[in-house]
Amino acid sequence: MTDFRTRKYYIALFLLFAMFLPAPAKALDPYEFQIYGYATQWKGGFNPQLLNSFVPYGRKEGEGGTSSTFASQGMIRTAIELEYGLTNKIEVASYFNFARPAGENFQFAGVKGRLRGRFAEAGVLPVDLGWKVEIKQWQRSINDDTLQLEFTPILQKDFGRISIIANFAFEKILRGESSREQLFEVGYLTEISYQKNSRLRFGILFMGGPGGVKNMDPLREQQHYVMPVVHFIAPGEVRSSVGIGFGQTNGSDHILLKANFGFGGRRGLIWD
């Protein structure tokens, strides 16, 4: 009976993933191409991170791909993240975002605050569950929607060395051109990964946008990406994650690159 119930939980989990993966989404943050697992920072733990992305092959004009104002092609983005564990189950983080459009100087893009937590202990529930809430403020030159609120459930299931993680973002535009168009917008990041050893993990990240609950864009105009990634611990115990993303629709940038680095934080974890 126990094995039967366990199989039912696994089937329900995969059906949930299958339901969300093709869903159109706009809540895609190009300053943070990273997925959040179930585990959080321990109490008092401090983890500064440097998040970087580059679009070598995107849109040569504005309002396309990952940029709503400047042309996305040649865009370099950098976010400085400061993460701190309030308790063993709740952490807080602040972000300072910068961008350099092609042919322009680096400029301040905006700030973000995040609160993240988890339920129960790992393995207690059939699926490990967590959550995060973010408030984002953008410069109008970078994003026409200048104030956003986002809630993201986090799901994780481990099968030996294989892990499946899903982040489903529900975003509300509080101020900006889209504030009256949508009740909220939805986005997804899902990763399937394999733990080679304690310092190396390989994965495939699926992420997407745009689209809203009330006015879904046609599929060809949405953004959907597949990004092979490698998570590893570099010399100096720097938790690192690099990847190359490939756009799957006409509305996507063609190629994205990411390189994220963490300089402290979660013991034994190399997700970011």
Is the pLDDT reported for residue 20 higher than 50?
Answer: no
Count of domains observed in the chain: 1
Q: Is residue 272 part of a domain?
A: no
Token pair listed for 185 = 């917008």
Specify if 270 maps to a domain.
Answer: no
Q: What pLDDT digit, counting tens, does each position of 87-135 carry?
A: 999 999 999 999 999 989 999 999 999 999 999 888 899 999 999 999 9
Confidence at 4, pLDDT banded by 50, 70, 90: very low
In the prediction, which pLDDT does 215 show? 65
Token reading at 90: 């709740």
If we measure between CA atoms, which residue out of 36, 270, 7, 271 comes closest to residue 155? 36
- Give the other-Cβ count within 10 Å of 19's Cβ: 9
Q: Where are the beta strands (DSSP E) in the chain?
A: 46-57, 76-85, 90-100, 107-118, 128-138, 145-159, 162-176, 185-197, 200-209, 223-234, 238-247, 255-262
In a domain, 165, yes or no: yes
Distance (Å, rounded) from C-alpha 21 to C-alpha 168? 9
C-alpha separations of 234 from 65, 207, 228, 240, 258 in Å: 31, 25, 18, 7, 16
What is the CATH number for 11?
A: 2.40.160.40
Q: Which residue has the higher pLDDT, 123 or 137?
A: 137
pLDDT at residue number 11: 42
pLDDT at 17 over 50: no
Q: Could you report the per-residue pLDDT of 219-260, keeping only the tens digit for each?
A: 777 889 999 999 999 998 999 999 999 999 988 999 999 999
The pLDDT assigned to 18 comes to: 38
pLDDT of residue 16: 45
Exposure pattern of 170-200 as b/e (b: 16+ CB <10 Å)?
Answer: bbbbeebebeeebebbbbbbbbebebeeeee
Q: Is residue 148 part of a domain?
A: yes
**Position 268 in a domain:** no
Question: What is the rounded distance in angstroms from the CA atom of residue 246 to the CA atom of residue 252?
Answer: 9
C-alpha to C-alpha distance for 61 and 66, rounded to whole angstroms:
11
The secondary structure of residue 220, as a DSSP letter, is G
Mean pLDDT of 133-142: 93
- Answer for the pair 130, 38: CB distance below 8 angstroms, yes or no: yes
36 in a domain, yes or no? Answer: yes
Per DSSP, the residues of 186-210 read EEEEEEEEEEEETTEEEEEEEEEE-
In a domain, 269, yes or no: no
Task: Report pLDDT for 176.
Answer: 80
**What pLDDT was estimated at residue 114?**
98
pLDDT band at 181 (very low <50, low <70, confident <90, very high): low
Q: What's the pLDDT at 28?
A: 78
136-157 burial code (b ≥16 CB/10 A, e <16)? bbbeeebbebbbbebebebbbb
Residue 69 domain-assigned? yes
Q: Which residues of 85-96 are buried (b: 16+ CB within 10 A; e: fewer)?
A: bbeebebebebe
For residue 24, whether the previous peptide bond is cis, meaning omega lies within 30 degrees of 0, is: no
Q: Which domain holds residue 148?
A: 2-262
Query: What mean pLDDT comes out for the span 35-39?
Result: 93
Q: What's the confidence (pLDDT) of residue 211?
A: 63
Q: Does residue 15 register a pLDDT over 80?
A: no
Read off the tokens for 6: 């366990």
The average confidence (pLDDT) of the chain is 85
Average pLDDT of span 170-174: 89
